[in-house]
Structure 1
């Protein structure tokens, strides 16, 4: 956790103010029992009313000053902890943005969300407490002991028994609590994962009548979290009764031995009253420490998980001195590329070599698992090649900054993704400063204008979370419009026409011809009708290119392509 707290450097001045205010508050609270003792010993016992009013007035002023210090310190500590949490969340978010898909697969989306929200909130809450209590509690404890000794040193020997017992109880429970808090965070991750899968896959769950199965999964994860939480709460619940038991026995001992000392004339009544108040301050300072010890184990577990994210170095990083692209606009080259997924024995791609030139459409077709989408993922550098090289505009993608590389690419993923906001905002996701004319033109080219115009608010119509209020084909067309609006030098369509009917598919490909005259176009498709008009078709099988040519050439020369065509088209359609 201390590693994270190094980020508090920008808040040094507010922290110094907080410490100063807490110091003043502690001094005020430590001084009040002494004044009370003076009122009893010199005012009430001697019947000196003016003295009572005088010291009472000072007590009121000091109490108000202490309260003001407490309020201001609380405000500053909350503001500091909130700023720290905001800064930490931003840092985690920026770091995660640079992760390759491998890191996302390793940590999991649900876990990353928990770490960015719940875990950081745990650290924030502890920081708020620490800025107040971690400073105040030791000061009140040490100051209380010092002031109690000043009232009666002999009676203070009671603390030699009480304090070790309390400190031992706090340390023992804190040590047992840390592993349990780590378990809780893992159980919470699991619950989030199950819940996220169930909600995002609700259509599949219902269509296969798997509701009962999902309820069992959720109840299992929920029960595990409950059981772990109960263990922690039972452990922590024992702390307060132990503290109160020791404190009550301490009060009995103080009153018993204090009464004897008053009876023998070695102590004043006012001093005993002050001594009891100091004893209470010492006890409550230890209770404050116990509360922090309850929170610190959970925050420590959260801090470890946050540090795990921040310490994870992305497999993909920009070169120290990125190169600029050559003048080969809209050119993609694969040079003997081999790629293996991390931990996989067999290569997903082997010996891939081809060139896609501007103004040409290169289509890729093959069976499921042949490596088509994996090949496309290497162009925007979602993964790095194992062997060989991928070049965009004549420059190896590993020698370019990721931002410059992806600025040249319009990517439409296999699963269309839309964001909460209007249709226009979703299309502008491809180009922030796109004019309304550019947005409309992109939508028209993507064959989306008709259904947009039929919506109540047109381009200002709201898209629900995940695009659940539009059909699959409409989502694909909006995703295509998002890529078109940026007018990139390379277009990548990863099976992006699968949800379109044949008529819309044909119209869209015809419209793309005039839009991509100076750009390279790569299309992955399962349907032969989508690829048959391409300038070149690459046939893939088991991670290798087993054929390259036009539709007619491949029909004549490539057995794999003929099998794919014959499985989709009739003899008349092929002829």
Structure 2
């Protein structure tokens, strides 16, 4: 329940709305408390002595109280719903901000579907609790205290019989919470797993259809769906084992009140109006108990959801600015890897083992190696997507961990191997890192990336809307848009991570020739990660990475003479 307490701390940001809801609850309780007294007055002073004027006046007052109850009930619902929407807004923003700042190591291990479930379904569970269940519980507690006081004043003996239901129902609800809260957490876990299967099939629908695996995926989804339903059934069984006993208690108490109160009316110790009023109060005191009972599963669900949400909020951010971090503004071009070791979180073996090298100003460095050799890891450490396990990465002699993280990354342009495009126009995608860029600037970098002619041939040109994840564009077209996007940034260091792998060899050679000139003119240092040796022959130096180690270093000609591994890779590519 600690996480729910943290949720409720958000109410301080909506003080007036919360106050409006609480005032509405108090006024509604007063209106509810007056209604049975009007019944008593109408019966004892109007109907029994046959005084029509008292009956009419009492009826008018009851109409007025009914209208007031409707208004206060509306106010209670409106203000509480407004508060719940505000709390949900803050939580969604808080979780999204945290997801954006979490390190790559967290995202490497976190399931996307679970993150989506927590920021949508779990927060909706919390919103329902704040908007409905919380106000129900507050209203029920205020009503219980108010009505209990009135009953004790009217007839303390009969009141004690009535109030006996409260501790008994409370014990049942306490047992319900203690035994079943983990069960509601399992519901959200199973929902996340189901969403994971759905996400995979939506993203991989072409693969599913290409291999005619529709029936297999339907079976897998059905199985996950059945597991979710099974957990839901368990929660229903938990509710079944608790709430029928609460209903039974309420019925027994009603029977006892009617029997004992009726005997007192016959003996003249109680009037008929007082018995009717007391019976009406009995409904008012049983209703809060039932409302708390109905709110119990929602509270348990919200508590489990709050735990899941705050797991993200409280997740440690591994890559942060050091105290007194300095901005990265100038780059002389000397990038040094000093005995760098790195192991990915959860990995059994290091991705890099004792890698050491140093670049010279305006040098074009190519990084070559087989798949999984550690090529991309080298540049990931340069941008501090991860921090080294041992050793140091330096720029002009200063450890990259001493630089302000935002300024460091904003001055390093990178084109990833896997291209990601966002919803919007082609112009907006190219200008993603520089939204205020003019169309002329966008066209200039598009020409350098050899994508301008393609865009110009589209009916809408640069205003063409990009489909979801770039659907409708080829892999090569998406890569060239990504290259143009990076060239538009104010980079000092440029990294091309196998950025022309989806482009035909001729276009790749043209792009690489243009980029070579750009990198010489605009950068202090440049790195090209490649699979094909043909695209990196012109590099000033080639770093050959093998099983996380720097196996060789030199120009194309030097490596041809001295590195058997380099020769083997070249031979395998030529033979293809």
TM-score range, shorter chain: over 0.9
Q: Name the residue aligned to 2:372.
A: 369
Match of 1:86 among 89, 96, 103: 89
* Pairing 1:26–2:29 present: yes
- Separation in 2, partners of 1:343, 1:110: 20
How big is each residue's C-alpha offset from its partner over 1:306-336, in whole Å with a ceiling of 9 and x where there is no partner?
1211221111111121113363345533222
Which has the larger displacement, 107-116 or 338-347? 338-347
Question: Quick one: which of 409, 413, 416 aligns to 1:410?
Answer: 413
Question: Scaled by the length of structure 1, what TM-score is found?
Answer: 0.95
Q: Paired residue for 2:552?
A: 547
Q: 1:328 to 1:548 in 2, by over 3 A?
A: same
1:146 matched to 2:141: no
Tell me if the contact between 1:4 and 1:303 (Cα under 8 Å) persists in the aligned partners.
yes
For residues 454 and 330 of structure 1, the distance between their equivalents in structure 2, rounded to whole angstroms, comes to 39
Counterpart in the other structure of 2:565: 560
Contact 2:382–2:400 (CA under 8 A) maintained in structure 1: yes
Do residues 528 (structure 1) and 533 (structure 2) align? yes
Change (3 A) 1:212 1:145: same
Structure 1 residue 168 corresponds to structure 2 residue 171: yes
* Whole-angstrom CA distance in 2 between matches of 1:322 and 1:271: 76
Q: Which residue of 55, 74, 99 maps to 1:52?
A: 55
Question: What is the CA–CA distance in structure 2 between the aligned matches of 1:570 and 1:41, rounded to whole Å?
Answer: 107
From the superposition, tell whether residues 160 and 32 of structure 1 become closer, same or farther in structure 2 (CA, over 3 Å): closer
Q: Is the 8 A contact 2:334 2:360 kept in 1?
A: yes
- Aligned pair partner of 2:473 in 456, 467, 470: 470
Q: Report the secondary structure of 1:256's partner residue.
A: helix
Q: State the SS of the aligned residue for 1:353.
A: strand
TM-score by length of 2: 0.95
Quote the Cα distance in structure 1 between the aligned partners of 2:353 and 2:494: 23
CA shift for structure 1 position 297: 0.8
Which residue is 1:272 aligned to?
275
1:330–1:518: 8 Å Cα contact kept in structure 2? no
Q: Return the alpha-carbon distance in structure 1 between the equivalents of residues 450 and 156 of structure 2.
A: 90
Structure 1 partner of 2:488: 485
**The residue matched to 1:46 in structure 2 has which SS?**
coil
Deviation at 1:131, TM superposition (A): 4.2
Decide whether aligned partners of structure 1 residues 395 and 514 sit closer, same or farther in structure 2, where only a CA change above 3 A counts. Answer: same
Equivalent positions of 1:89-238 (< 5 A) are 89-237=92-240
Distance 1:133 1:23 in 2: 12
Give the C-alpha shift of residue 130 in structure 1: 4.3
* Aligned partner of residue 410 in structure 1, secondary structure: strand
Instruction: Give the CA deviation at 1:256.
Output: 2.3
User: Matched residues in 1 for 2:195 and 2:547: separation?
Assistant: 36
1:363-398 Cα shifts (integer Å, max 9, x gaps): 111112111011111111111011221123543221
Q: Distance in 2 between matches of 1:392 and 1:204?
A: 43
Take 1:470 and 1:544, find their aligned partners in 2: how far apart are those partners?
Answer: 37
Task: For 1:347-362, list aligned pairs within 5 A.
Answer: 347-362=350-365
Mapped pair 1:13 → 2:13: no
Aligned length: 571
CA RMSD of aligned residues (A): 2.0
What is the match of residue 423 of structure 2?
420
